[in-house]
Amino acid sequence: MNARIPLLLCVWTFLSFQEIQASIRLWASEVTNFSTQHNSGSHSAKQVLGKPNVYPRYTESPGTWAQLGNQLDRVHFIEVKFPRKLYVSKINIYETYNAGAVVKISVKDGQNQWVDIFSVNHARIIRRARKFSPQIKRFIIPVDELRIEVDCSVARDYVEIDAVEIVGDICPSPFFQIGNSCYLIKKDTVSADEAFARCLLIGGYLANFETLEETMLMKDKLIKMSTKISYFVGGRNINRKKQGGDWRWIKNGTMTQMKYFAFGTGEPNGTDQSPEDCLMFYAAKAYAFNDANCRIKNGGYICEIQNM
């Protein structure tokens, strides 16, 4: 057999099961504070905003943030905000003069306090332009504000920062985005009741599809994944006595009435004697909705997490 086939299979498997999620990149869009600025124009704090205009050149140049000329013996800071919150996986600081001076990076946490995510004891002097991307852990909180400290005292000269960029996602890992929601599709076979509990344990809930649009996007995704597994979601019938039932989306103590009909033909078919009060995307009917017994292990499940 051609030795390349297993390799290709591996690559294919990786690509199809790994959620290929294009991360979002954002440039700083607002300066919220700074220690000093060289002037209020060409070398002002605001010059860090937007994409680089000096990088990859290494030069003392207008279009960057530089500090006050008589205070180059100390650590300076700048605080910047981004257009929206992201679960950040990468930070890029574009240094275009006396690179290597970043000694601390902090982010605002949920309580509005600065938390350090990078720090070194000493600045270095690197005489070339640098896109500085320090090792950071993936954030478990969404972030839209950074504080950067630069130590000018080693170079005893201006430290020029051209731009600041964050790279991240709208959904916290391992959840991924479909439409405007964050989901996690699990293939292990469980009952609907177990699925309900498992989603809670990871900080989410069994997925709600309040609109037909959300349902269609997920259905399309499941058809493409082609796992042949049915998946439980967070719909429940709360009235067996009623013809067709009374289906609700359950989320954190609220029950939203299901406002559209997306069941397969002949469904729902549960009865008072043979109850099927839990909802699943049913593989055998091209992922139309199906009512299923809540206690029988016969599906994977889809969790959702409240997005920002």
Ligand X SMILES: *[C@@H]1O[C@H](CO)[C@@H](O)[C@H](O)[C@H]1NC(C)=O
Residues in the site for ligand X, rule: CB under 6 A?
33, 252-253, 269-271, 274, 276, 306
Least gap, CB of 135 to ligand X (angstroms): 27
Nearer to ligand X, 124 or 240 (CB): 240
Q: How far apart are CA 182 and CA 86, in angstroms?
A: 13
- Sorted by sequence, the CB contacts under 8 Å of residue 3 that are 6+ apart come out as none
Nearer to ligand X, 115 or 136 (CB): 115
Question: What Cα–Cα distance (Å) separates residue 307 from each residue in 29, 110, 170, 176?
Answer: 22, 15, 7, 10
Least gap, CB of 276 to ligand X (angstroms): 6
Nearer to ligand X, 99 or 219 (CB): 219
Least gap, CB of 53 to ligand X (angstroms): 26
| Range 222-225 contact pairs with CB under 8 angstroms and sequence separation of 24 or more | 222/185, 222/281, 222/283, 222/287, 223/286, 223/287, 225/16, 225/185
- Give the position of tokens 């006396």: 98
Least gap, CB of 102 to ligand X (angstroms): 17
Least gap, CB of 25 to ligand X (angstroms): 26
Nearer to ligand X, 131 or 251 (CB): 251
- Sorted by sequence, the CB contacts under 8 Å of residue 184 that are 6+ apart come out as 174, 175, 176, 202, 204, 302, 303, 304, 305
Least gap, CB of 32 to ligand X (angstroms): 7
Nearer to ligand X, 2 or 252 (CB): 252
Q: What is the DSSP letter of 221?
A: H
Least gap, CB of 275 to ligand X (angstroms): 8
State phi, psi for 9 to the nearest 5 degrees: -60, -40
Nearer to ligand X, 18 or 271 (CB): 271
Q: How far apart are CA 196 and CA 236, in angstroms?
A: 11
Q: How far apart are CA 7 and CA 169, in angstroms?
A: 30
Nearer to ligand X, 33 or 257 (CB): 33
Q: What is the DSSP letter of 126?
A: B
Tokens of 171: 């959904």
